[in-house]
Chain A
């Protein structure tokens, strides 16, 4: 081995180390921003940092987390889903009506809606359509169906769902357990299994995957079906908490979910996503937008603007750090 070769090897190791550090920082960032928001809440309202407080502050974060994971799957495949919010609303209306009164019909409809998502994935891939256009169109379809099912607010969540979402485990509040569970399951599936690598690869380097003999049609269908599945879970969780549905209940989730993925260290292109980061990002957004704002006692005229400002600050911190990484 010559001296030059050794030097090269050392250099390689040090750049690898730097890259690893940057990756580390990037994966720590969502946790850091969450800790920051929690500290601010603890300072403003110490009473909130308790079993009861976390149960209340975070239980509406469960559906946001699930919607964020749903969005993460399409983003992993370099696509964007603008219909996830109204889809969650649609699922909510089905849950509060058919799933309670005619469980079989409800299950069929919800499974069918996941099938529609899979078909959308196929359509987008086969016709090479921009997903933004297709899903924007679908958002009106879901909204329309939701209004058809539930023309005015009402309905009731099935009892098993109500008791599930009101579950009070000892010591650790349910929303935290749910978040850990979601993060663990999706992290294992997408980051630790070989097909998970293929799924992410379809967003990272589609051409290479295709040349290696993998079906891109299949990966797109799987990614969209997973989005549908988590969208269904999100809608059901939401109705389990609110107890009753409204056709417009999920509309705000579309943008929250995208922001959650990006805050959690994901990128719009390149198949770079992080399930754990996305869960942390969703929790951060849920906490920053509502509890933090309420506890700050801002004059009513400024509250709406302050909400926007908090979101911009949180997202700007993320952009600053990832720029340093480059």
Chain B
């Protein structure tokens, strides 16, 4: 009888030491430096939905969101320091600068706090980085283009915000893709700043000087603007890669209904914030085998599934995806090679 009791206590101890139960007393804070565009709003929404449920299910004790009033680095550094003082166990952060917050991040690590950055990542080695494979996204754009335009031809490239790592990575991927598909040639490049209006102006300006274009490779947020510029100039409509924005997918659907227009769409899902949350939870759970740099897939739509996603996106918004704990565990597994 006594033995049985000991055994059952042991069993209970074992059971309680497995995942989930361990983090129920942990508090995770989200430090965000900007909330002023549709992408960031979707990011906060996704994070709110996922963490609210996690708190209700007692996976974690608290998951609070803190947004700074300005986009300034010192404000966010001070915010991180205050979160340390608040006694949070982990901080999920979308950072104002990859380097300039490192001092505060190091202080957090030294205080035993788990730091997980995403989108705006931090370079401090003690932090975790959830990075979307933008280079692969650029390469995939050309791969997809080769399916729609098997004969090849001239491409126009629309770049993102100059000087950012994201623009750099997508561009490098596109160059790699073009190198693998010599039937394509990039004959022009403009800066669209991930913004429809800017992209439309830039494309309209360069259009008269270009030969016939079969396709446009871009970075998202610029596809609809490019389509408008081509329509206004009366030029034939090329295959434009889309970036998951509501106006882009809507235009795609209109064209598809008209004449079966084909293309492909990809972008980083704002809900990657929820993935970062689960990564923080996994680290708090005691997992020590998680790499500090996690490459996660981007969100893509094809000819077959984009129409199903369209009604779910808010007017003027961007497609997102709320990640689950299983998604995070799978993503971590994919990164342990």
Contact = CB atoms under 8 A, between A and B. Distances in A.
Contact of B74 (A53, A63, A304): A63
B212 interface: no
Contacts of A63: 74
- Name the residue among A242, A252, A295 with the largest chain B CB count within 10 angstroms: A242
Nearest to A308: B69
A245 B94 CA distance: 17
Interface in A237-258: 238, 241-246, 248-253
A60 B79 CA distance: 10
A60 B74 contact: yes
B213 interface: no
A263 B2 CA distance: 72
B150 interface: no
B298 interface: no
A143 interface: no
A291 B70 CA distance: 15
A59 interface: yes
B69 A242 contact: no
B67 A289 contact: no
Contacts of A154: 98-99
B175 interface: no
B191 to A, nearest CB: 15
Interface string B52-81: 000000000000111111111111011101
Nearest to A298: B66
Interface in A127-154: 151-154
B65 A300 contact: yes
B44 interface: yes
Given A153-B97, A153-B100, A243-B102, A56 B81 contact: yes
Contact of A290 (B79, B106, B163): B79
A244 B67 contact: no
A304 B67 contact: yes
Nearest to A291: B82
A243 B130 CA distance: 22
A242 B81 contact: no
Contacts of A215: none
Given A152-B163, A295-B82, A295-B86, A246 B106 contact: no
B313 interface: no
Interface string B96-111: 1111111110110000
A52 B68 CA distance: 23
Interface size bucket, A side? 35 or more
A300 B97 contact: no
A303 B22 CA distance: 31
Nearest to B48: A300
Given A300-B67, A304-B67, A155 B99 contact: yes
Contacts, number: 115
A248 B73 contact: yes
A59 B86 contact: no
Given A63-B74, A152-B163, A290 B100 contact: no
Contacts of B98: 153-154
B25 to A, nearest CB: 17
A57 interface: yes
A48 interface: yes
B72 A248 contact: yes
A45 B84 CA distance: 12
A39 to B, nearest CB: 16
Nearest to B168: A152
A101 to B, nearest CB: 16
B16 to A, nearest CB: 28
A219 B67 CA distance: 43
B14 interface: no
Nearest to A166: B103
Nearest to B104: A242
A243 B104 CA distance: 9
Contact of B81 (A45, A59, A250, A253): A59
B69 A289 contact: yes
A102 B98 CA distance: 24
B35 A243 contact: no
Contacts of B70: 252
A304 B99 CA distance: 24
A205 interface: no
A246 B100 contact: yes
Contacts of B99: 153-155, 243-246
Interface of B: 32, 35, 44, 48, 64-75, 77-79, 81-87, 96-104, 106-107, 163-164
10 contacts: A56-B82, A56-B107, A63-B74, A238-B74, A242-B103, A242-B104, A244-B102, A291-B78, A295-B82, A303-B66
Closest 9 CB pairs of A and B: A244-B99, A307-B69, A294-B82, A252-B72, A290-B78, A246-B100, A300-B65, A243-B103, A56-B81
